[in-house]
Amino acid sequence: MRALVKIWVDARRCGERLARDRSGIAATEFAFIVPLMLIMFFATVELSAGIAVDRKVTLVSRTLSDLVSQATTVTDSDLKNVFSASYGVLSPYATNAAQATISEVYVNQASVAKVQWSKAATVAQNGSTVTATLTSSSRSQGDTITIPNGLKVANTYLILSEVTYLYQPTVGYFVAQAGVNLTDKSYTRPRQSTCVLYGTSSCPTY
């Protein structure tokens, strides 16, 4: 009888000691939490970078239209400088993933918006130096385009900038490795004159 009682007491004490033992709980909890923490970390990195690039795209668009709208006349050399300066806003992100177009739009008496001139550019980056080369735009002179109703003021001009950026994530787990196209456009009215002249001596109305 005493032997049975002793066994029961010993078993009870052993159970109490096991119940109080917490030495492996931290390791177990850590093993469960680490995967979740890594997922949250990489998701935060990718989303933060994507938001930062998207903001840069908006700034490039606004800078491009703003600089051109401050001129009365622009030449190819002027536009190269404008593209170079605008693309510089993307730093520290790569500029070769961006495509931009600058156009002048005329809203006629019937409130129809038509392209007067349009230029695009490719850029080469060497360190902090960005060099632009003008290329043909996807928009042609005389093309009819859609603009917001609030900007359809008859017999007025607008400077339209359009920017596209292919954002490719570093990890590619939460965002497709092929990337996401970020786009933005900006409309600005000429500041110093009725229109911004390019290759002509009078404001065109094509």
> Would you kindly state where each structural domain of the chain is located, as residue ranges?
29-188
DSSP, res 93: S
The region of weakest confidence among 157-166, 169-178, 182-191 is 169-178
Average pLDDT rounded to a whole number, residues 89-94: 84
The confidence score (pLDDT) of residue 4 equals 45
Q: What is the pLDDT of residues 151-167, one digit of tens each?
A: 999 999 999 999 999 88
Residue 43 binned pLDDT confidence (cut-offs 50, 70, 90): confident
Mean pLDDT of 67-87: 93
Residue 8 has pLDDT above 60, yes or no: no
Q: Which residues make beta-bridge pairs with 134?
A: 121
**Which helix (H) or strand (E) is 27 found in, with range?**
helix 25-69
Distance CA 194, CA 62 (A): 20
Pull the structure tokens for residue 199.
């290759």
Please compute Rg for the chain using Cα positions: 31
Please state, rounded to an integer, the average pLDDT across all residues of the chain: 84
What pLDDT does residue 34 have? 75
pLDDT higher than 80, residue 112: yes
Q: With contact defined as beta carbons under 8 Å apart, do 160 and 61 qualify?
A: no
| CA 138/CA 15 separation, integer angstroms | 79
Going by C-alpha positions, the residue among 139, 146, 142, 147 that lies closest to residue 118 is 139
Most confident listed range (3-12, 15-24, 171-180, 184-193):
184-193
From the CB of residue 101, how many other CB atoms can be counted at a distance below 10 Å?
20
| CA pair distance 175, 43, nearest whole angstrom | 9
For the cut 60, the answer to whether the pLDDT of residue 60 exceeds it is: yes
Q: Give the pTM.
A: 0.78
